[in-house]
Amino acid sequence: MPGSADEAGAAGVEYQPLLFSIAYGMTGSVGDAEDIVQDAFVGLTRARQGGTTIADPKAYLATAVTRLGINYLSSARVRRETYVGDWLPEPVVVPAGEPGPSEHAELADSLSMAFLVLLEALSPVERAVFMLREVFGYGYPEVARIIGKTEANCRQIFARARQRIAAGATGSVPSPARRAEGEELARRFFGAAAGGDMSALLGMLAPDVTVHGDGGGKAQVARRPVAGPQQVARRLVGLFHRGRVLGVSLRLAWVNGQPGAVAHDVEGRVVTVFALDVADGMVQAIRAVVNPDKLGHIGPVSDLARLRGKES
């Protein structure tokens, strides 16, 4: 059908942020989310070329992305069950002070790393229903149409998913700090860690603070989460001391809508991405993605953290 590719392209510009956010919320993977969105647009173009009238491209694309996400999770579940160590999503990174790519601009605060980890407890369909309703504000009639189930069934699925999320949360997911406040706290926090200032670090760490590291069996991270201000501060000071010796530098960034930083080696290659859960002026959790497979979309990946022996 003449003009179908142009129409799909126009829809892409308008709907890309929403579609990427849905796909990323389903997969926790930047690359797979982008592939899913692209596949949805290919499907739209083919449908139009085949003579199908698409009255609501946005609804068509949201449905396609959601169902592709459900299929993705169904096949990914086995891989997740055998994942080595803590699993964290691929980070969405926007350098501090910069707007970032348009497809990432509307990434909701609810798609923080902490929230995406909680979503891992849900089945693919539960995750889709919960996200569409809770994060993106779809009404039950729309959710039912997208998922292909009745409204009553979707209400039951949502209630069940909300109960499972509540049961899996050790505490509430903190509301992100205001942008300026978050950047300032991140600047002081990473400065104290890099300078070995234990006193300053302890003053910024919540009593129940934890550090989670995702190495995927391919990079050096702690075997288990590190908990408690003293243990976390000592861990961070030691980590940043080794990094300083190796010439690692930090650049502040926003990671999944949260203050954080990207560590680079002397050649400018990505070593680690840090995200901070911040609430009430304190750091509640630190999440570090070191798995090289999850950093390639940001830039060339360093081999500094690659596993050469047992995990520390």
* Tens of pLDDT, residues 188-197: 999 999 999 9
Sequence-distant contacts of 221-230: CB under 8 A, at least 24 apart: 221/85, 221/86, 221/288, 221/290, 221/311, 221/312, 222/311, 222/312, 223/85, 223/311, 223/312, 225/86, 229/201, 229/202, 229/205, 230/202
**Please, which pLDDT band fits residue 97 given cuts at 50, 70 and 90?**
low
**Once rounded to an integer, what is the mean pLDDT over residues 251-256?**
92
Residue 101 has pLDDT above 70, yes or no: no
> Structural domain boundaries of the chain?
4-168, 179-294
**Please, which pLDDT band fits residue 169 given cuts at 50, 70 and 90?**
low
Residue 7 has pLDDT above 60, yes or no: no
What's the CATH number for 179-294?
Answer: 3.10.450.50
Conformational region of residue 216, where left means phi above 0, alpha means psi within -120 to 50, and beta covers everything else: left
Q: What is the pLDDT of residue 196?
A: 93
Residue 67 has pLDDT above 80, yes or no: yes
**Once rounded to an integer, what is the mean pLDDT over residues 103-110?**
53
Taken as a whole, the chain contains a residue count of 312
| CA atoms 109, 114, 115, 120: torsion sign | positive
Amino acid at site 224:
R
CATH 1.20.140.160 fits 4-168, yes or no: yes
Burial class (CB in 10 A: 0-12, 13-18, 19+), 52: exposed
Task: Please tell me the distance from the alpha carbon of residue 228 to that of residue 176, in angstroms, as a whole number.
Answer: 21
**Region of poorest pLDDT, from 19-33, 116-130, 176-190, 200-214:** 176-190
